[in-house]
Amino acid sequence: MLVHKVLVVGAGIGGLGAAALLGQRGVQVDVIEARPDSAVLGVGINQPANSLRALARIGVLDECLRAGYSHSGNTFFDWHGNLIVDCPSRLGDDIVPANSALSRAELKRILLGAAESAQAKIRYGVTVETLADDGEQVLVRTSDGASELYDLVIGFDGAKSAMREMVVGPDHDPVFTGYGVWRKTVRRDPSVTNTLLFQGDRSKAGVIPLSQESMYLFLVTPEPGNPRHDRADFATLLRARLAGYQGIIGALRDGLDGPEGIVYSPLNEVLLPAPWHRGRLVVLGDAAHMAAPHLTQGAGMALEDAAVLAEELERGTDLDPAMAAFMNRRYERVKLVHDASHAILVGEMAIDAAAIPTASEHMRETLPAQTAAVEDALNRPF
Ligand SMILES: Cc1cc2nc3c(=O)[nH]c(=O)nc-3n(C[C@H](O)[C@H](O)[C@H](O)COP(=O)(O)OP(=O)(O)OC[C@H]3O[C@@H](n4cnc5c(N)ncnc54)[C@H](O)[C@@H]3O)c2cc1C
């Protein structure tokens, strides 16, 4: 390995994946996490086949599949439940299914187990205070008073990354898209066996199966001005935004009885220009690239980053060319996800109630080929 001692900043999905993959290769890995513990939001996460392949490289594929609900593709309806088009997924192969969705808590538990089994040492409630890269090593002082030398510091510190500015400088903050997502885990309706999407009046609802018992409901909506909603109002706000939906989504709306379990997330985007590293510092995952969640590829892109970095650090003879090889393998693929996700978000949010019949016709004609093109690219080895 080109590195022997690494600091990973952020014990999220990508950070834990990187800690496991590097630890398994004999690297001494410290992980620092700003939060006081490993708790995560109580909602679900879909893992498409390429993400499952990254989880396989970590050695946790079977565990993830057992914890989740494997399914194929998306079926599109309008908000009154009329079928628009079925898009069976082209992802997957004999080893991995097209998709497997699971609770975020389960994914976190599994990745944490993999990182700890690989001897990574995780400290909670700790952040970076200062970094000094002298070209040979990085001296890192952390908020718990520790000072250590590392061969590489990996910023996997998510959307609000502090590492981003330290690596690529200012002016790269994520940009609010104008839209947000509402989510809640609910009891699975037996008819929900893959992702069902419902086009509404400048909004889109959906359900994704998470297990035999549970599924998750989501709604994408315009949120002009990036409001800070009061949690106590979540049920009222979500119910109002779901007005007009019939069928399964209408029934879920009518069953909303309080704010408990509802999560609201503004949708932000960022795609750092290449390279994502400077000297012995690198930012990966959401810290470097955050797309709208429409292809459910965020965790997959973070885990692929981790897997490719570990491989290039293992096969390389010098750090600079290894990092250049990493960037070569990552940038276009991440940009594809970023651009395609943005196009879907903007396109669906432009459809108002009156335009749903013509938009449905257009989706029927164009969506299968568009989806196939993106999925064929993502199904190729990363
Ligand atoms: C509404 C919505 C739905 C989504 N659905 C999906 C989906 O179905 N499938 C999918 O693959 N992706 C989905 N995503 C995206 C996915 O959650 C992210 O892309 C993924 O979590 C990125 O992993 P990461 O490790 O880069 O960041 P994170 O998982 O966010 O981890 C970052 C970690 O860094 C920590 N941290 C932050 N600042 C510091 C600091 N200064 N010092 C130390 N630690 C710090 C944080 O506390 C956190 O633990 C969705 C996103 C949204 C918003």
Whose structure tokens read 């996700």? 341
Instruction: Report the residue among 41, 45, 69, 182 best suited for mutation to probe ligand 1: largest number of ligand atoms under 8 A from its CB.
Output: 45
Q: Tell whether 304 is covered by a domain.
A: yes
Q: Tell whether 38 is covered by a domain.
A: yes
Q: Tell whether 223 is covered by a domain.
A: no
Q: Tell whether 130 is covered by a domain.
A: yes
Among 199, 246, 125, 228, smallest CA distance to 354 is for 199
Is the whole-model pTM more than 0.85? yes
Parent domain of 324: 5-72+99-173+268-346
Q: How many independent structural domains does the chain possess? A: 1
For residue 150, list its beta bridge partners: 138
Q: Tell whether 143 is covered by a domain.
A: yes
pLDDT at residue 231, rounded to an integer: 97
Average pLDDT over residues 19-25: 98
User: Which DSSP string corresponds to 276-334?
Assistant: -EETTEEE-GGGTEE--GGGS-HHHHHHHHHHHHHHHHHH-SSHHHHHHHHHHHHHHHH
**pLDDT per position as a tens digit, 257-316:** 999 999 999 999 999 999 999 999 999 999 999 999 999 999 999 999 999 999 999 999
Ligand 1 centroid–CA 266 distance in Å is: 13
Domain of 326: which CATH number? 3.50.50.60
What are 368's two structure tokens?
Answer: 């299968």
SS3 category, 261:
coil
Q: Tell whether 244 is covered by a domain.
A: no
Ligand 1 centroid–CA 260 distance in Å is: 21
Q: Tell whether 336 is covered by a domain.
A: yes
Q: Tell whether 115 is covered by a domain.
A: yes
What are 348's two structure tokens?
Answer: 């669906």
